[in-house]
A and B are shown apart, each in its own frame.
Chain A
Amino acid sequence: MSLTVDVRARVGEFHLDARFTLPPGLTVLFGPSGAGKTRLLRLIAGLDRPREGRIGLDGTVFDDVAGRVHRPVHDRRIGMVFQQPYLLPHRTVLANVALAVRDTDRTTRRDRAHELLERTDTTAFGGRRPGQLSGGQRQRVALARALAGEPRLLLLDEPFNALDHPVRRQLRGLVRDLVDRAGVPTLFVTHDTDELAALADHVLHADQGRITGITDVATALGPVPDR
Chain B
Amino acid sequence: MSEVDWFPLLLSLRVAAIATLITTVVGVAGAYVLARFTFPGRGLIEAIASLPIVLPPTVLGYYLLVSIGRNSPLGRGYEALFGRQLVFTWQAAVLAAAIASLPYCLRTATAAISAIDAGYEEAARVAGLHGTRLAFLVTLPMAGRGIIAGISLAFARALGDFGTTIMVAGNIPGRTQTMPIAVYDRVQAFDYATAGVLAGVLAGVAIVVLLGVRRLERTAL
Contacts and interface: CB of A to CB of B under 8 A. Distances in A.
Interface stretch (B30-38, B85-93, B127-135): B127-135
A181 interface: no
Nearest to B137: A99
B215 interface: no
Contact of B142 (A45, A72, A90, A102): A90
Contacts of B142: 88-90
> Chain A interface secondary structure, helix, strand, loop or mixed?
loop
Interface string B136-152: 01100110100000000
B125 A73 contact: yes
A82 B141 contact: no
Contacts of A146: 127
Contact of B141 (A73, A90, A100, A148): A90
Contact of B127 (A47, A72, A89, A100): A100
A87 B124 CA distance: 9
Contacts of A76: 126
Interface residues of B, number: 18
Looking at A77, A78, A86, A142, the one whose CB has the most chain B CB atoms below 10 A away is A86
Interface in A51-84: 72-74, 76-80, 82, 84
B119 interface: yes
A18 to B, nearest CB: 19
Interface band, chain A = 20 to 34
A87 B119 CA distance: 10
A45 B123 CA distance: 10
Contact of B119 (A45, A78, A84): A84
Looking at B124, B126, B142, B144, the one whose CB has the most chain A CB atoms below 10 A away is B126
Given A74-B130, A82-B119, A84-B119, A89 B221 contact: yes
Interface of B: 117, 119-120, 122-130, 137-138, 141-142, 144, 221
Interface of A: 45, 47, 72-74, 76-80, 82, 84, 86-90, 99-100, 102, 142, 145-146, 148-149
